[in-house]
Amino acid sequence: MTPSPVSSTPILRRTLILSAVAAAVLALIAAGIGFAVAGTDGLWSGLIGVLLSFIFLGITAGSILFANRWFGDPLYVQFFFAIVLGGWLVKLGLFVVLMLVLREQPWIDPLVFFLALVAGIAMTLIVDVIVLTKMRLPNVSDIDLPTTNPEDDGDDAQGAPGAPKQPGDI
């Protein structure tokens, strides 16, 4: 597989990998605390809260990575924003549906679920900050600058450097 020409792709991949590791650790902690506080219901509530926070992070990063596959296409910008906006709409719809379904479940401890969800969101934000502060990305990237023509000496008929050769030339 050839590397992606988009310079943000490795950063997003790193964010997903580090978030998955952090989510696994946080899931174990949330499950343990949930079990200690509310028994089996707390265990499941902690696990589901952290899992949902990771899924919602993954939808955004995954949609951007997926949209970057069209880099270089004339319709790249339209594809990119359509895919990312679609991912956000899916995330919003999924969140509403899951909250409506999970609020009535007897095996969900609302406080443990809420705190695990908030801890998962904070964890994803911390991972994002860590990755973004350690990234090596130039201020201007993913563009090709024009090159000079080696055959062009830069002088026109009047002797002005860089002036057009003919009245219609630019």
Note whether 25 and 88 are within 8 A (CB).
Answer: no
Output the tens digit of pLDDT for each of the chain's 170 residues: 455 567 778 888 888 999 999 999 999 999 999 999 999 999 999 999 999 999 988 898 889 889 988 888 899 899 999 999 999 999 999 999 999 999 889 999 999 999 999 999 999 889 988 888 887 766 665 566 677 666 655 555 555 555 555 555 55
- What is the C-alpha to C-alpha distance for residues 42 and 30, in angstroms, rounded to an integer? 9
Question: Per-residue DSSP letters for the chain?
Answer: -PPPS-TTHHHHHHHHHHHHHHHHHHHHHHHHHHHHHHHHHHHHHHHHHHHHHHHHHHHHHHHHHHHGGGTTSTTHHHHHHHHHHHHHHHHHHHHHHHHHHHTT-TT--HHHHHHHHHHHHHHHHHHHHHHHHH----SS-S-------TT--SB-TT--BT--SSTT--
CB neighbours of residue 80 within 10 Å: 20
